[in-house]
Amino acid sequence: MDLTLITPRIFEIITAIRSDLLVYLPLIGAWLITASYFILNHDEKHGHAHVVSTGIAHIFTAYMISPFAIPDIQWSFSDTRTIVVAALFVYGVFLIILGISKAFPDLLAEFFGDPGHALVPSLMAVLYVQENIPFDWLTFFIIAVPVLILSAIKISRKFRRK
């Protein structure tokens, strides 16, 4: 990863967010509020219900950005934007099915139900589809760092209280 690309990409992401707050504020705001809830209520687990809500968030995000990715409702799986929207939608359905059926252990539910898990893929998809910001490891890293910081705070509070 070329470190000289980090600062321009950060500014590109910030500019995109500032240019269309009505799109990005609900994603980021929901993440901050939910992450804060779990930091303050460190004894509560995310659980399977949160996995279902993460799946629902992915489906709605895919639905909302689909007009940008698939103009005139013409699906073309040769277009990367269509693939990103379809993958986000299918991933949301997958999480809902797994969450409802409780098909995986509580430890995985804790991971997949984390609010950051809802933010990172959705925000990456929106930035790529709407703003043409590359869907790559650098964008992932820039978005994941704040998520990891809040997750570390949540984990440290959980273990400090025990």
Amino acid at 46: H
The whole-number average pLDDT for the span 65-89 is 80
Q: What pLDDT is recorded for position 29?
A: 87
Evaluate if residue 36 carries a pLDDT over 90: no
Provide the residue ranges of all domains of the chain, joining segments of one domain with +.
Answer: 7-161
Radius of gyration of the chain (CA): 16
Mean pLDDT is lowest, of 1-5, 32-36, 110-114, 122-126, for: 1-5
Q: Describe the crossing of helices 115-131 and 80-101 by its angle, rounded to 10 degrees.
A: 160
Evaluate if residue 162 carries a pLDDT over 60: no
Indicate the pLDDT class of residue 73, thresholds 50, 70 and 90: low
* pTM flag (> 0.85): no
Evaluate if residue 161 carries a pLDDT over 70: no
| Cα separations in angstroms, 43 against 38, 39, 100, 158, 159 | 8, 9, 22, 6, 9
Query: Whole-angstrom Cα distance, residue 120 to residue 27?
Result: 10
The whole-number average pLDDT for the span 28-36 is 87
